[in-house]
Amino acid sequence: MSGKTLFEKVWDAHVVSQETGAPAVLYIDAHLIHEVTSPQAFSELRTRNLKVRRPDKTFATMDHAIPTRQDVGIELWPADAATQVRTLRQNCEDFGVTLWDINGDVQGIVHVVGPEMGVTQPGMTIVCGDSHTSTHGAFGALAFGIGTSEVGHVLASQCLLQMKPKTFAITVDGTLGTGVTAKDIILAIIAKNGAGGGAGHVFEYRGSAIEKLSMSQRMTVCNMSIEGGARAGMIAPDQTTYDYIQGREYAPKGETWDRAIAYWDTLRTDDDAVFDRELFLDANTLEPMVTYGTNPGQGVSVTGNIPTIDELEDPAERRSLMSAMDYMDLTPGQNIAGQSVDVVFIGSCTNGRIEDLREAAAIAKGKKVADNVWGIVVPGSKAVKAMAEAEGLDRIFSEAGFEWRGAGCSMCLAMNDDKAGAGKYVASTSNRNFRGRQGPGSRSFLMSPIMAAAAAVNGRVTDVREMI
């Protein structure tokens, strides 16, 4: 019998019950909730007269709908966002759930705050009513997004009924060149394998280029597993992981820490384990990536061209390209570099951590955002914001002409008032280039933080390597 993959080890350790012909009852170690996808789940608990089984394993924050303008109190918020926040407060109070409130010191995008607080640990199962829960897989956790019905199931039982996904190894070997980042790795993977290519699978990112990434960079990669069609993506824990976790509020302490390390050390794919599918990528040849279309698989290197119709064989791909070109008002075959941008958004659970802001600030320092560009920088959490301000990054961005905001999801999904206008081109460090994702009628180019900073300064899509 062959060995086990990392995913299989974590899955097997959480199967509470497995009846023949039924999905597994899978135990959930940490449940993260936010204001948008939880209210109907709490209503369901009330209707059925159920409690939250493990409030100690449930953590709430507010991120999706909240304004990020820092001078606006809740009394001035749009009524529906205020209602969602007040509903979350009431639900957390009634059910005894820890809430990282916008009025407190700890708050931000749920996938930035969870790791910062040390809640996210190797070998855990972690869920949230948000598809970018895959972010936490960077720690060797099995982490995936769920719908609101499932949020209710986990609140009530700490378990989910789940079919076992298949395994998919993505090996990235080599060394990234200057100006090439973790964001470019994941955009290249999705461009190669397609936006739906990972359906039914859990990715495991491995190889020398992955091992060299920091935790922040690993989170960027795992975050966009969902854009590759996989519900989850995982990276085996190592010393980099342990160094990040140690000392954080919810991290194991003392003897428990030693036992944790001994267990976490076992969470590596066995040499003789077999994956259902595999894909290889050479980090040495990667270039900065930019998406040109309306799904995250429609990406090219910044030195490349949008494909022509003739280059695509599949009729469905051709239809997708034509439809995307029509929406984006771009031409098949054209260069992506040089394309003008109107708005620049730096932030999100993909690229809103301190390292992302440091890298973007290094490009923006001493320069000015182009006259025709509106740029906003939105830290992923209050902790990121505080660190950035202590380092003076806020001043670098402000002096360059960016708006410096409070923590939240902001223009990644444009649920609040941070919206690009209709027809506007957005250079964005977020994860989705769907039609209207960043405001009705908006057109997104996904890219890394340094590429976005370069686009802001030049007012067009630019190869950041020319500025380094």
Partner 1 sequence: MKPFNKLNATALPLRQENVDTDQVIPAKYLTAVTKEGMGDGLFSAWRYNADGSDNTNFVLNDPLFKGSEILIAGRNFGSGSSREHAVWALTEYGFRAVIAPIFADIFYNNSLKNGLLPVALPEDVVNMLWDLIEEDPTTQVAINLEAQTVTLPDGQTHSFDIDPFRKTCLQEGLDDLGYILAKDDAISAHEAEPAF
Q: Is 153 in the site for partner 1 (CB under 8 A)?
A: yes
C-beta of residue 173 within 8 angstroms of C-beta of residue 206: no
449 binds partner 1 per the rule CB under 8 A: no
Number of residues that bind partner 1 (CB under 8 A): 75
**Residue 304 class from Cβ within 10 Å (0-12 exposed, 13-18 middle, 19+ buried)?**
middle
Binding to partner 1 (CB under 8 A) within 63-122 occurs at 64-65, 78, 80-81, 83-84, 87
Cβ distance to partner 1 smaller for residue 115 or 165: 165
CB of 111 to partner 1, least distance (A): 13
Q: Considering the complex, what minimum distance in angstroms separates the CB of residue 249 from partner 1?
A: 18
Phi, psi dihedral angles at 161 (to 5 degrees): -90, 120
DSSP letter assigned to residue 307: P
Binding span for partner 1 by CB under 8 A among 224-232, 390-398, 443-451, 452-460: 224-232
Nearer to partner 1, 188 or 226 (CB): 226
Distance (Å, whole) CA 211 – CA 209? 6
Q: How far is the CB of 25 from partner 1 (least distance, A)?
A: 5
Q: Is 246 in the site for partner 1 (CB under 8 A)?
A: no
- Span interacting with partner 1, options 104-112, 174-182, 255-263, 284-292, rule CB under 8 A: 255-263
Q: Which DSSP category does 251 fall into?
A: S
Cα–Cα dist 262/443, whole Å: 48
We find the least distance from the C-beta atom of residue 209 to partner 1, in angstroms, to be 27
Binding map of partner 1 across residues 177-216, x = CB under 8 A, - = no contact: ------------------xx--xx----------------
| Least distance (Å) between residue 263 CB and partner 1 | 4
Instruction: Point out which span in 135-143, 168-176, 260-268, 458-466 binds partner 1 (CB under 8 A).
Output: 260-268
CA distance 47 to 130: 23
DSSP conformation letters of 391-456: HTHHHHHHHHT-EE--SS-GGGTT-SS--PPTT-EEEESSS---TTTTSTT-EEEE--HHHHHHHH
Spatial distance between the Cα atoms of 117 and 457, rounded to a whole number of angstroms: 34
Of residues 262 and 390, the one with the C-beta less far from partner 1: 262
